[in-house]
A and B are shown apart, each in its own frame.
Chain A
Amino acid sequence: MRNLFTLLFLAFVMSMHGFSKDNPKMITFPKAEILSEYTTRIPFRLIDNLIVIEAELLDQKGNFIIDTGSETLILNKVHFKTRTPHNRKSRVTSGVNAVIDNPLEKRLREFIIKDLILENKKSDVINLSHIETSKKIHLLGIIGYNILKDYEVFIDMYLNQITLSRVDSKGKRLDQRGYLEKIIDTVDFKLKNHTIVLETYINDQKLKFGLDTAAEYNQLNKRTSKKILKNFFPSKRLMLVGASGKKIEVLAGKLYRVKLSDKIYFAPMNTILTNLNQMNEAFGTSLDGVLGYEFFRQQRTIINYKKEKLYFVKFPLNKQ
């Protein structure tokens, strides 16, 4: 299987030709609102549980997925062909959404979010057509940690928008203006490689969860302690089917009593029970689980990678 994949991969690479590496690559977000030199706000759509923003890159219009679980910017090979295969490098791009080995690495000389210029960002070029097919979208790529880390990132599931505000090396926002809405709590996290790791509690058991905007479902490691599994109430068995036709059965249900701080705790969250050992490899750290869409749906969350802090903004009471 592996050989076949490599073969296909190479065949694909060889047949490619494309844009010159010398051109600056510009990505623009036609729907973005520029608030200041340092801050921009981009509306998103939820496609199933994925956060998707519209963008234009190299004369192509399409979508990008916001994915804190991905280490780099990923471009969809279907739409961005690369010229030379010799800069191939071994790198694992990870995330609940995407774990693919040996992507072809490219370096974007400039990656521009409207007026915000990001230089020398690495990007991986990977075939993402399976996501296009399953989500029925025109997908240009995935925006990951190496883009997001330079900003304070406000993921707002109430107003369906993501606000990017540039920070300095210490994590201080360059935009002097604060947030207009009330911040109700702050929680520290640890950045392990590119992964946001949160300490959470279920009853008094400490658990390490990764936070991943592109995890459509929360995941809990099968091999976690029995005391914790007592708070997982399975409701059904799910058959996950892969593109290769392989099937795997997982247990889906609700995870109760997840607490983040004295003030922040979560309503029962839909969770699947999986073997996270391979995931841990991808995340570059050992985790008891992954929090994704359900987390962001319940909390309007601001991520500051440099300060390793999460801030939570009050959800309006009258939920529409």
Chain B
Amino acid sequence: MKPIIKHILISLIALATWISSAQTDKGYRFEGNYVVFTFNKFDYEKFYHDSSKEKIKFEDLDVDNVVVAGEFNNWSKYDWEMLRVNETTYELRKHINDFKDEFTWEFKFIINNQYWAEPSEYDSNIKLAAIKGSHLNVYNLKMDTKAAIPDKKGNVSFRLKGYEDAKRIIVSGSFNRWNEDDFKMYKVENGWELKLDIKPGEYEYRFIVDGYWIEDPSNPSKNTNEFDEYNSYINVGKYVTFSLKGYANAERVILTGSFNDWNESDIEMEKVDNGLWSLRLPLPAGKHYYKFIIDGKWMLDPDNPIKEYDGQGNINSVFMVR
């Protein structure tokens, strides 16, 4: 019996409580509808002065205050001052509604309004810091809010025809951990509707009509679920930009890949400034293979280290939409 208890303890549910609140990312966590920014001095080894780029060690720094600066507050060095929790930890609690219109936000902690705490390259949620497209040599922290947000201009519309007499219809899916209350549909002519802004990825969802779960009758893509019924399936893609440097003299550059069945003329890249070739196109979430055809010659993307063999032994560049 013992192993069973252990098994139950470790593998089971519980997660519902922790997962929703505990983020594995550095610098913040979720608690219900709040984002809690957390600064712990042991998390950082380097601190850079805001203007002089002078680097100092933590031991040499007396902390008077810690401020969260990020895209959400225009990188203010003063506005979002954190509260001291104990000797090593500072926290700041903000409502999720302060982060409405984006899925990800970049931010950083600043000490005494002048020393930036530098994340290390081993942190999982980092992004190279950049100003107007040119990289600074440091990282920012990145915060993921929810995978889906109700938004009238959202990228996914859910529609359900009929059910005129229903009182309450919910969209519930893997994009919101199957929450049974959050995403209420609103009544429109001939049915119900809800627009969500959803982060690129593959998701399953169902509708809950007055407590009764159904799959989306208008969506033919579906997977079997744990009750031997069906979950509807969607793939939410996004626009991505491909670019090619160093071929300023080329006449014609074609982008070809698994997304257009390796068509050799379909997608022509455009020459933009500085001899850079560029193209923006929408792609579904997931892994895509591609190559450039530069004046008739097939080439791997020279700036992309990610490449793989295909079944025939060819090597292709790989792009992951996520």
Contact = CB atoms under 8 A, between A and B. Distances in A.
Interface residues of A, number: 75
B7 A100 contact: yes
A96 B307 CA distance: 33
Contacts of B306: 158-159, 181, 316
B7 A98 contact: yes
Contacts of A239: 14, 17
Nearest to A92: B3
B12 interface: yes
A45 B22 contact: no
Given A136-B225, A138-B226, A297-B24, A240 B14 contact: yes
A61 B8 contact: no
A219 B16 CA distance: 18
B136 to A, nearest CB: 14
A209 interface: no
B127 interface: yes
A314 B307 CA distance: 12
B261 interface: no
Interface string A34-46: 1110000101010
Interface in B263-322: 286-287, 305-311, 313, 315, 318, 320, 322
B26 interface: yes
Interface in B18-45: 18-19, 22, 24, 26, 40, 42-43
B13 A278 contact: no
Interface string A164-191: 0000000000000100111000000000
A159 B318 contact: yes
A278 B307 contact: no
Interface string B119-136: 011111111100000000
Contacts of A137: 225-226
Interface stretch (A13-21, A82-90, A200-208, A266-274): A266-274
A160 interface: yes
Contacts of B13: 134, 241, 243
B158 interface: no
A297 B286 contact: no
A-B pairs, top 7 by smallest CB distance, nearest first, are: A242-B8, A132-B226, A240-B14, A99-B3, A99-B7, A278-B6, A267-B123
7 contacts: A34-B311, A97-B10, A130-B11, A135-B226, A138-B225, A177-B313, A240-B14
Given A99-B3, A182-B305, 18 more contacts: A33-B310, A43-B287, A61-B224, A97-B10, A131-B11, A134-B12, A138-B226, A159-B318, A239-B14, A240-B14, A252-B22, A266-B122, A267-B122, A270-B22, A281-B3, A297-B24, A316-B305, A320-B322
